[in-house]
Structure 1
């Protein structure tokens, strides 16, 4: 029976669609997609997204633990097959190697850190290369911890007019206890500095320190300038006031002592009394002579003669540029009397 043209076209269309469907099914099975291939692809994509999310989480965790640059954190995790504990150990090891290589670089930034009791104060200078690192709370915690440790240095408790100098040679082997979330536990001063240098990626250096004590009938006053938090500053002034009568008004002595410590920072004095000032330096030292009026008034107020026992001024980075130009020069100790 002859088929009409319309019927032939209809049957041809059905046959074509079936052949096309069969072809796609065969191709999909070869690529691992046919027979539920879309579901397999979906599961694979979800696994990749989940893995990527976990990796980002590990990077974030290790970054929070170590404060290391993100690129170093990621590289350590990849090298350690995303084992976060192994990566942390690897970062510390590599950081210490880099810190050793950077130890010769100039470090003129940082902070002075102060620790104080009623009769004794310790002031240390901790340097780094940039103010960015100086603002880091880990660096600041180390500086404050070093100042507290300096108070305990053997020989620093002796009473006397002269400040007791404390340097790396006095402290680097001493025990130091750190209580920061990212760096805690007991270690040595030298190891703590190396550890922080590794974390910061800069040269971190304990440069110098002083401990000053006062007599039983005296008070010790301090002032820190440009202070981001208590106990830290870029310029410091420390002085002792000595009074003959031990029963004098302590509040009045402390009030005037604080004013004079601030004056030491502002005026950069080199002399205690007019008799010690040369004619050449008289004009530049005129401001410190005004303190004598304060002492006279204070003596009348407390009913006993008051005098300045000793004082000194210290500033972050002072003398370092000069040392770069003259490598044979010795470092400035501090302006002290």
Structure 2
């Protein structure tokens, strides 16, 4: 930005207000900090901006102990993989800010270029500390030049006046033949959202057409966000979770005072209901609840004349921590 330098002896109250407004627009720093920097630099706006940037890291570090449970997920995708990263802040107000959103999108696009596993459908985690030294090139009026992600986060935290931190991320590789579908819920602009769903669909025949697969894939990514499955198939439900559920259901059934045979049938029925709630293939399809997801895949396989299966899926939500994926 190009500034005209003023000095205190020349300034009227109106000139001072204009300088405060100009520096505030250029830096997005809190008004109190803007005025303080201008006063301490004798109303030299370039010196004040430099002072704000110097203090930005200090201001950000003071805020780093505060809880940052809001924020956004940023998604970037190419033919090889999809990447989702989480950028956190303290309030939804900051999550709606264009600079915060610009930083999140820039981070996702840069993470997409990182080298990772080439295995089909593989899920790779990015811990926050592995991304902090990543160098990004910024081209925003209030965030420019090349800098590390850690420094960029510190600058944005100073502008926003609250704690901003990286929540980690993951990459999921595309299948050798098939579709990697994504969906973002509560999306303020393309590539950003509060909940993300990613579904990888494998198509057995490499010559099979993919148009129908893409359509169903998009619907399934939306389904994953809405239905919150925990497992892909019944076989994936771990024995501890299943044992605990069966124990609870049996205890509830026994309280009815019915015969052992009747209790077994009650438990069997309730377990079936449990699978329909937590297992993706057993869930009723959100687009058409007369069929389950397993049937949707069976019908799709007939349409493209090749076996289609879900090889991987991920659902993540802001504040839940990507390390749990």
Deviation of residue 332 (structure 1)? Answer: 4.6
Q: Distance in 2 between matches of 1:313 and 1:284?
A: 15
Report which of the two structures shows the higher radius of gyration computed on alpha carbons: 1
1:158-177 paired onto structure 2 within 5 Å: 158-177=118-137
- Deviation at 1:119? 2.9
For 1:189 and 1:75, locate their aligned partners in 2 and report how far apart those are by CA, in whole Å.
27
Q: TM-score, normalised by structure 2?
A: 0.80
Aligned-pair distance for 1:275?
Answer: 4.0
Partners of 1:248 and 1:169 lie apart in 2 by 42
**SS of residue matched to 2:301:** helix
Q: Which moved more, 1:69-78 or 1:109-118?
A: 69-78
CA distance in 1, matches of 2:279, 2:155: 46
Q: 1:220 matched to which residue of 2?
A: 180
**Alignment partner for residue 136 of structure 1, among 97, 101, 106?**
97
Q: Is the 8 A contact 2:230 2:280 kept in 1?
A: no
Instruction: Describe how 1:194-209 pairs up with structure 2 within 5 A.
Output: 194-209=154-169
Runs of 4+ in 1 over 6 A off after TM superposition: none
Contact 1:118 1:219 (8 Å CA) reproduced: no
Query: Which of the residues 295, 300, 309 maps onto 2:311?
Result: 309
Instruction: Name the residue aligned to 2:32.
Output: 71
- Secondary structure in 2 matching 1:173: coil
Provide the aligned length of Structure 1 versus Structure 2. 276
Cα distance in 2, alignment partners of residues 85 and 50 from structure 1: 16
Contact 1:111 1:143 (8 Å CA) reproduced: yes
Q: Residues 49 and 173 from structure 1, CA distance in 2 versus in 1: closer, same or farther, beyond 3 angstroms?
A: closer
- Is residue 297 of structure 1 aligned with residue 306 of structure 2? no
> Mind listing any 5+ residue stretches in structure 2 that lack a counterpart?
1-8, 243-270, 283-291
- In the alignment, which residue of structure 1 is the partner of 2:63? 102
Tell me whether 157-166 or 251-260 shows the greater mean CA deviation.
157-166
Root-mean-square deviation (Å): 2.0
The answer to whether structure 1 residue 118 and structure 2 residue 120 are counterparts is no
Write the deviation string for residues 259-300 of structure 1: whole angstroms up to 9, x where unpaired. Answer: 100011111112222444543842423664211111111101
2:216 match: 256
Contact 2:83 2:169 in 1 (8 A): yes
| Pair 1:314–1:297, CA change in 2 (3 A) | same
* 1:181 corresponds to 2:141: yes
2:186–2:193 CA contact under 8 A, matched in 1: yes
TM-score computed with the length of structure 1 as normaliser: 0.77
